[in-house]
Every structure is written in structure tokens, then in C-alpha cells.
Amino acid sequence: MKFSFPFLKCFSSSSVTLEGSQIPYGGQISQHFTVYSYNELKAATHGFRASNKIGEGGFGSVYKGKLQNGIFVAVKVLSVELESMRGEREFVSEIAALSDIKHENLVNLRGCCVDGANRLLVYDYMENNSLSQTFLGGEKNRSKFTWKLRKEISIGIAKGLSYLHEEVSPHVVHRDIKASNILLDEDFTPKIADFGLARLFSENTSHISTRVAGTLGYLSPEYAISGHLTRKSDVYSFGVVLLEIVSGSPVVAFDITRGEHFLVNKAWEMYNSDQLLELVDPVLDRDFSSDEAVRFLKVGLLCVQENASLRPKMSMVIKMLSSNGATIVDEMKITQPGIVADLMDVKIGRKHSSQSFFSKASTSMSPGSPFQTGRRK
């Protein structure tokens, strides 16, 4: 089966209005949306030159480009395999999720291009890479992130997710929230990115059944086991990211004594032994409010509870992370977290294997961001 896009053609003109044009998966375009020509984007990226490549993943590559008006952009070139529709679905999902919404904490989709088998998406360029590239990976990186900045980034991500889950219609579930999909602009404002796996929820939809996709370590257990996707699946992933930001620790680590262990389990163990403060990133050198840092870690644990119904909505998360959120957190009971530690735990459709799931789990250009300024090593 081949999707058709009668409303998308490549023009060299600056912008067109695609008023009310229908796209698959129930999305609509109802705003001014720039439709670029292939040659225009080829020129902007110097012929998609290797030195302009800033990211690479399962569905294609991303290039830094400069448009004729002098604006820098990130151009995602999707690899489309028409027989399997690989890449095509991601192209449609990104347009469906982002073409008609704007928020300070979401990456801005400027436009697209359809030219034969070519599918290209154009975004604002992010000067400070992704959270995984800029923040994680060493004390030197993490030392640049003060407690104040970590707080602002955490709350910004929560606001972006709350907007997707509760304010836009249809609601949007991202399905792959993780550090490499959080971009940072020149002011380190976080932007949720890479909506290639996103799904749209109508107002009265509690869940949808879908092929499991995401990234191990961030994947909610109930979704992995049942294939039932809800907004609480994103809440779980956010909880993992929050634990990362406060602790500076990797989601999955390995050492000789413990073997492979997960940050979620480590946080739970330290919470139960009343040592949660020791989980806070040591590079902060105690330059933070102890009560506030512990509260943020508790919010992370509330978000990753095994029982999805006990996880807070993202609007409640924002309240708990705010300056007057201590009372709310103190009144909430934290229960055991859930975790998917093995691919064998993941529900796999008859046409999929654990290997194919892992391939999908890596599609969001892990470990780096698709819009990062630094190149993958």
C-alpha cells in the first residue's frame, strides 16, 4: 500500500496555505506551512554534504542547512522503503503531530518536501544539541548544568508534554521521550523532538493498541507487555528523564559488582533506604536545595510507578515541580516502579522479532539528537 499526498508538492516558493488538507492517521494541516523544493533544500545543505550531517538514525540522516533568507535549519532526510513503508509512516506521523501546533517546548516544524521517493522535513536549528549530547556523557558536560538550569529544563519538558497530552486536540502521545529527543536552543530551552513514532488520541480515547516501539530503559512496562499505549506511557518515560537530569547517571549502567542495573531500580533502592539525596549528581557539589532535589527525584519515582493509574498527569507533574509543590508530593505515596529489563518481556507481533523491535527502539537517532550540532563519534 502506498500513501498519497495530493496536498503536498514541492515548490520553490516560500509558503502556501494547506487549509484543511487531510493526512493519514487522522491529522490535519490548517496553518501556513512551507513546502520546499528538493533543489532548494539540496542547495541549503550544500548537496547534503557529509560535513553538514549532524545526526543519523534508523530512518535517515539530518543535515544542517542555511536557507536563502539566511535562516539556519535542520533538514531530516527520511529513508523511505516503499514496500515496508519504512520511513513513510514516520514522515506522516511527524506532520500529523507538529504541523498545526506551536509551543515553546516543542521543536518547530517549518515545512516539508515530497519529491518522488524523497521525504524531507525541515525544523528550526538547535544550537545546543540534544540533552544526551550536551548534558550526559561526562562530568565536564554535566558541570555546565547548574541546579537552576536542570530545574528549568525539567519543568520545560513537563510543560511540553502537558500541552501534547491535555491541551491540543487530538491529543498527542510521543512514544519515545528520552534524553536524545530533548533538544536545547541557544538559551538551553528544552524542545521535545522526533515525533516519528507519535500517535494521535481523540478526546474519548483511553488507549490504542499498537506495535510496541520506543527505547529500552524509557519504555513503560504495561505498554511493552500489552501493546496498549496511553498518555501514562509518556509519563513513565518523562520520569526516567527526570531521574537522569537530577542524578547525572545513565539509564542503564554496568559495573563488576552489580552487573547491568537500571537507574529506576537504583533510585527506588535509595528511596527505600532513605538515601535519595545521595543520588543527586555529585558534580553539583552541594550547590542546590537538598529538599528541592529530593522532591524532584520523588516526582521521577511517582512517574515510573508500575501501576500506570497511579502515575500523575503531566499537568500535576508541573505543579509538583513548582516552588510550592512540596506539600503535594509529601501527600502522595510512592509505590514500586516498573521496568522492562529484557527484550523478551516486550510484546512482539507475529511479523516482528526482538531484533526488529530493537531496530525500532533505535530509530530516534540514539544516542544523539537528530538536530544536534555535534557529529556522532
Catalytic residue IDs: 176
For residues 178 and 132, the answer to whether their CB atoms sit within 8 Å is: yes
Q: SS3 letters for the chain? A: CCCCCCCCCCCCCCCEECCCEECHHHCEECCEEEECCHHHHHHHCCCCCHHHEEEEECCEEEEEEECCCCCEEEEEEECCECCCCECHHHHHHHHHHHCCCCCCCECCEEEEEEECCEEEEEEECCCCCEHHHHCCCCHHHHCCCCHHHHHHHHHHHHHHHHHHHHHCCCEEECCCCCHHHEEECCCCCEEECCCCCCEEECCCCCCEECCCCCCCCCCCHHHHHHCEECHHHHHHHHHHHHHHHHHCCCCEEEECCCEEEEHHHHHHHHHHCCCHHHHCCHHHCCCCCHHHHHHHHHHHHHHCECCHHHCCCHHHHHHHHCCCCHHHHHCCCCCCECCCCCHHHCCCCCCCCHHHHHHHHCCCCCCCCCCCCCCCC
Prior bond of 190 cis (ω within 30°): no
Angle at the Cα of 246 from the Cα atoms of 196 and 108, rounded to 5 degrees: 30
Smallest CA-to-CA distance from 127 within 74, 185, 62 is with 185
Find out whether 148 is annotated in a ligand binding site. Answer: no
Binding-site members for ATP are 76
Binding-site members are 76
